[in-house]
A and B are shown apart, each in its own frame.
Chain A
Amino acid sequence: MTAQVPAPPAPPALLRLLPAGSYAGRSRALLLRSATASRRAWLAFVSGFFEPVFYLVAMGQGLGSLVGVLPGPDGAPISYAAFIAPGLLAASAMNGAVFDSTFNVFFKLKYGRLYEAMLSTPLGPVDIALGEIGWALIRGGLYALGFLSVMAGFGLLVSPWALLALPAALVVAFAFAAVGMAATSYMRSWQDFDLVTLAILPMFLFSTTFYPLSVYPRWLQLVVEFLPLFHAVELMRGLTTGAVHLGMVGHLAYFLVMIVVGVTVASRRLDVLLLR
């Protein structure tokens, strides 16, 4: 048998800005690796779908019985379940992306020493970053699709705009994954992950996931409006209820900024972290 190791292709123009040798254009091999690994851990894979569904059933039905109806984004009354479902969709996009890009990446970095093995092949740090983020997105996309199907089953999707909730969920997940990975590159030990919980949990609870912004006093509203998850929830809620307006481009812009900043910092830092 003869060796048929193809030379890595020259990187596309944009990526030539990166340090030489940090990108071999083969991040797809990492997707293959993740898909193969998750075939053995299918239970964990499937379980990610159920968590938001449990929340939807419990909170939508149970808490909903205490609330009745709420004014939707355009003022028209909607059921409590229809109110929180897009919030849960946004939150699960955030949670999945952050978990994958922080805990999982840190574990592979420090304990599995998996990236070390990958870096002794033609793969570079940028291949790894793109591959990991790509997998987080594929996973997040599947969960979002599953959750949207459940919403449809409960009759919570009333507008064709809801179809756009899927790509929107991917944008949100990408943004959180990019920033999460950038943050992970600064982590030194597991102790630092308290800070991740400390950032994620309040966001999950207070970003109008469970009740409208009007509950807060004005100064607190301003704080909440600053949080990324708030923009994700607004985006999703507008799409699934059909209350679409031009201002939603602003929410989208928020995530594009997060993506650009996150990817830039992460790929710089991965170089420092991996190629000592």
Chain B
Amino acid sequence: MSGLAASVLFVADGLVQARGLRKRFGDFEAVRGVDVDVARGEVFGFLGPNGAGKSSTMRMIACVSPRSEGALQVLGMDPDVDGPRIRARIGVVPQLDNLDTELTVRQNLQIYGRYFGLSRAHVRAKATELLEFAQLTERADDPVEPLSGGMKRRLTIARALVNEPELLLLDEPTTGLDPQARHLLWERLYRLKREGVTQIITTHYMDEAEQLCDRLVVMDGGVIVAEGSPAELIERYSTREVLELRFDPALRPAPDALARLAERVEELPDRLLLYTADGEHTHAEVARAGFVPLSALVRRSSLEDVFLRLTGRTLVD
């Protein structure tokens, strides 16, 4: 009874709801039956390698790519019928920046606002506010082209906020940025979350997913292979710690030889991963058993390990 009530509540507050969502391009099926519910106020992630179907799913949610099959509701409306109405209330940050290079930084924000039918006075004030948010006030009247990658990304995000969206879609927001620019961007996205903006993020970086997402799905080959919070997923599919061992190729033991020392052993081209509750203890046992690695590293287990467990492959090759 209470379960039913909860699910009804959940649906009522769901910003995005997909059932059996599919996308075909000719013979190729990029998304093969995806179920997703995103609640108001949460940051939801699609984690997966390139080609997993994340971007195609995002484009369907953004109402720029008609679905091939399945049910989809965004903000309680059907994208096939109410595309423009939905797009008026969401913000989209595409994978590659598509800023208007014929306009200045400020004009990019103002003109984009005009596409939403906002008044001239409103977009003028809003642009000033967003330039501040994106830390681009000093570059306001410069052309877009000479901006750094991080600046362009921040401008693209600021642009997506011009209509004060209820839902922000970010497709690989930090791909190609240097570490400093990534951290600055994460900080800005966290600020938006605190302001109550619902966000959907795709990424193939597990650290990004762990940093930003309340809840995420792991996608591979067009389907969802796992779902939960980052902590839940690690708990469910991995151990507390991981011992990474590198061997001289000539002296590298077969994974089976180490199997009894850990819960699970994964073999990667350059190293062996031993999944265990206590890394230091396992390291000592490995030495006692007579194996001599070139190097050993104990670390917390991460979403990367979850992904490896689920698909047998690493996220970033």
Q: Which residues of A contact B (CB under 8 A)?
A: 1-8, 20-21, 24, 26, 29, 32-33, 36-37, 40-41, 112-114, 116-124, 274-276
Residue from A32, A119, A120 in contact with B111 in the complex, judged by beta carbons closer than 8 Å: A32
* Minimal Cβ-Cβ distance residue in A for B62: A120
Q: Which residues of B contact A (CB under 8 A)?
A: 25, 62-66, 79-85, 87-89, 92, 94, 96, 98-104, 107, 111-112, 114-119, 122, 125-126, 129, 143, 159, 163-164
From A2, A112, A120, A274, residue with most partner B Cβ within 10 Å: A120
- Chain A residues with Cβ below 8 Å from B25 are 276
Give the CA-CA distance A26 to B163 in the complex, in Å.
15
Residue from A8, A20, A119 in contact with B80 in the complex, judged by beta carbons closer than 8 Å: A20
A-B contact count (CB 8 A): 108
* Minimal Cβ-Cβ distance residue in B for A32: B114
* Minimal Cβ-Cβ distance residue in B for A22: B83
Question: A1-B129, A116-B98 are contacts. A121–B87 as well, Cβ < 8 Å?
Answer: yes
Additional A-B contacts beyond A1-B125, A8-B117 (14; CB < 8 A): A1-B164, A4-B122, A5-B117, A6-B117, A21-B79, A21-B82, A26-B117, A29-B111, A36-B107, A117-B99, A121-B87, A122-B88, A123-B115, A275-B65
* Minimal Cβ-Cβ distance residue in A for B83: A21
Question: A36-B107, A116-B94 are contacts. A124–B118 as well, Cβ < 8 Å?
Answer: no
Q: Is there contact, CB below 8 Å, between A122 and B87?
A: yes
How far apart are A121's CB and chain B's nearest CB, in angstroms?
4
Question: A8-B88, A21-B80, A117-B94 are contacts. A37–B103 as well, Cβ < 8 Å?
Answer: yes
Q: Is there contact, CB below 8 Å, between B88 and A4?
A: no
Q: Is there contact, CB below 8 Å, between B117 and A122?
A: yes
18 intermolecular pairs with C-beta atoms under 8 Å apart: A1-B164, A5-B116, A8-B88, A20-B80, A26-B115, A26-B117, A29-B114, A29-B115, A32-B111, A117-B112, A118-B115, A121-B116, A121-B163, A122-B84, A122-B87, A275-B64, A275-B66, A276-B65
Give the CA-CA distance A116 to B63 in the complex, in Å.
12
Residue from B99, B159, B164 in contact with A5 in the complex, judged by beta carbons closer than 8 Å: B164
How far apart are B128's CB and chain A's nearest CB, in angstroms?
11
- Chain B residues with Cβ below 8 Å from A4 are 118-119, 122
- Chain B residues with Cβ below 8 Å from A117 are 94, 98-100, 112, 159
* Minimal Cβ-Cβ distance residue in A for B122: A4
Q: Is there contact, CB below 8 Å, between A112 and B98?
A: yes
- Chain B residues with Cβ below 8 Å from A24 are 84
- Chain A residues with Cβ below 8 Å from B62 are 120
Give the CA-CA distance A20 to B299 in the complex, in Å.
53
- Chain A residues with Cβ below 8 Å from B163 are 3, 5, 121
How far apart are A100's CB and chain B's nearest CB, in angstroms?
14
- Chain B residues with Cβ below 8 Å from A116 are 64, 94, 98
- Chain A residues with Cβ below 8 Å from B99 are 117
Give the CA-CA distance A122 to B126 in the complex, in Å.
18
How far apart are A107's CB and chain B's nearest CB, in angstroms?
11
How far apart are B111's CB and chain A's nearest CB, in angstroms?
5
Give the CA-CA distance A156 to B159 in the complex, in Å.
51
Q: Is there contact, CB below 8 Å, between A21 and B102?
A: no
- Chain A residues with Cβ below 8 Å from B115 are 26, 29, 118, 121-123
- Chain B residues with Cβ below 8 Å from A121 are 87-88, 112, 115-116, 163
Q: Is there contact, CB below 8 Å, between B103 and A113?
A: no
Residue from B64, B66, B84, B102 in contact with A8 in the complex, judged by beta carbons closer than 8 Å: B84
Q: Is there contact, CB below 8 Å, between A37 and B117?
A: no
* Minimal Cβ-Cβ distance residue in B for A115: B98
Q: Is there contact, CB below 8 Å, between A124 and B83?
A: yes
- Chain B residues with Cβ below 8 Å from A120 are 62, 64, 87, 92, 94
How far apart are B286's CB and chain A's nearest CB, in angstroms?
52
- Chain B residues with Cβ below 8 Å from A20 are 80-83
* Minimal Cβ-Cβ distance residue in A for B159: A117
Q: Is there contact, CB below 8 Å, between A7 and B88?
A: yes
Q: Is there contact, CB below 8 Å, between A3 and B164?
A: yes
- Chain B residues with Cβ below 8 Å from A36 are 103, 107, 111
Give the CA-CA distance A3 to B103 in the complex, in Å.
24
Q: Is there contact, CB below 8 Å, between B102 and A41?
A: yes
Give the CA-CA distance A2 to B92 in the complex, in Å.
19
Q: Is there contact, CB below 8 Å, between A5 and B118?
A: yes
How far apart are B254's CB and chain A's nearest CB, in angstroms?
48
Give the CA-CA distance A7 to B84 in the complex, in Å.
8
Q: Is there contact, CB below 8 Å, between B100 and A114?
A: yes
- Chain B residues with Cβ below 8 Å from A123 are 84, 115
| 9 nearest A-B residue pairs (beta carbon) | A21-B83, A3-B164, A37-B102, A120-B92, A121-B115, A113-B98, A122-B84, A117-B98, A8-B84
